[in-house]
């Protein structure tokens, strides 16, 4: 991504280091965390990462003390009520206080260069972008009246693959309506890039027969996988996703297809009762210990938010396949 000319949105010292390790210039990084640790601020100053966001007065005083040469973006509040993961509950200055913050930044002789917003991750309403752009235009005008010279608008992220074209079209039209061509526009489409990054294969490590004694003809099982919500399925908790299990057919598999299908609940390996991947799913074959399931379109908020809870590893074997034919061959093996 660095070689393609992309910049990087970082939220911590570790992410700043990851971005700088690619060899990019610090000017291609925005420290997009409105509430920052003092030591991280000093580190950003040391590394020359000037661009950063703020949304409150205390943050401005902190920046003045730790990094007075920073280039600031005012993070404004947006309506993200239709998004999967709402961010407005935590970040963003309302329009009621935006002018006050811009005036304070001017008094502190801090340089405000732009406005940022985020309509929430997994946004479902494209008009949220229109309203956010309108609000950003108002803040740009207020900043100009106060004496700031703003040149950049950060439209955040929240883009998903299945709605990207529609949302991008609405956003592009709003930008053309409210902002002149010389204003630089940046975005943070992390979810869009990685939502379908990989197919996850998980092994059945245990099985439990939970058939109703009064209805023994209907098979029902609890199966336990070697991965769960504390691992790559963390997107179930953090991102409100519903991964769909499919049987991975492989040599010597015992999952012969049945006409009616078999009911399963699917669980992760930890001792925590919330470590459940699927409360109920019907699959077309009998699964046993050692069999495999696969889950397509994994990526966003999976491995990056995995933990080592209960001592389980967050390191997993990765197989790279460079063609659709290769992927099909592996899944049909």
- Residues classed as catalytic: 271
- H or E element: which one contains 66? helix 57-66
Residue 259 — φ and ψ, nearest 5°?
Answer: -70, -40
Structure tokens at 227: 């991965």
Residue 184 — φ and ψ, nearest 5°?
Answer: -75, 135
Gap between the Cα atoms of 146 and 321, Å rounded: 55
Other Cβ atoms closer than 10 A to 272:
14
Q: Hey, what's the torsion of the CAs at 186, 174, 169, 72, to 10 degrees? A: 10
Gap between the Cα atoms of 262 and 98, Å rounded: 57
3-class DSSP state of 160: coil
Structure tokens at 241: 């996703």
Structure tokens at 193: 């890039």
Kindly state the DSSP code that residue 85 receives in the 8-state scheme.
Answer: B
């Amino acid at each position: 991504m660095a070689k393609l000319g992309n910049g990087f949105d970082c939220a911590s010292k570790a992410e700043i280091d990851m971005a700088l390790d690619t060899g990019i210039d610090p000017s291609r990084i925005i420290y997009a965390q409105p509430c920052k640790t003092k030591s991280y601020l000093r580190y950003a100053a040391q590394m020359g990462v000037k661009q950063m966001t703020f949304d409150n007065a205390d943050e401005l005083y902190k920046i003045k003390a730790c990094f007075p040469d920073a280039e600031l973006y005012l993070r404004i509040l947006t309506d993200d009520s239709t998004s999967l993961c709402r961010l407005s509950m935590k970040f963003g200055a309302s329009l009621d206080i935006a002018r006050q913050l811009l005036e304070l930044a001017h008094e502190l002789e801090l340089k405000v260069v732009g406005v940022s917003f985020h309509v929430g991750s997994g946004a479902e309403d494209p008009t949220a972008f229109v309203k956010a752009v309108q609000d950003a235009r108002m803040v740009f005008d207020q900043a100009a009246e106060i004496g700031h010279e703003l040149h950049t608008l950060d439209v955040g992220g929240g883009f998903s693959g299945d709605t990207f074209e529609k949302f991008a079209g609405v956003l592009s039209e709003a930008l053309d309506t409210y902002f002149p061509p010389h204003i630089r526009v940046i975005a943070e489409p992390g979810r869009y890039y990685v939502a379908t990054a990989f197919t996850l294969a998980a092994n059945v490590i245990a099985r439990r027969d939970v058939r109703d004694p009064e209805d023994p003809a209907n098979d029902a099982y609890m199966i336990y996988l070697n991965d769960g919500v504390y691992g790559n399925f963390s997107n179930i908790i953090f991102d409100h996703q519903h991964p769909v299990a499919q049987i991975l057919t492989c040599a010597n598999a015992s999952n012969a297809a049945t006409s009616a299908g078999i009911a399963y609940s699917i669980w992760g390996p930890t001792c925590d009762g919330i470590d459940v991947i699927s409360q109920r799913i019907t699959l077309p074959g009998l699964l046993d210990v050692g069999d495999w399931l696969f889950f397509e379109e994994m990526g966003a908020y999976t491995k990056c938010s995995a933990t080592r809870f209960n001592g389980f590893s967050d390191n997993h074997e990765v197989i790279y396949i460079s063609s659709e034919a290769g992927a099909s061959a592996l899944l049909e093996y």
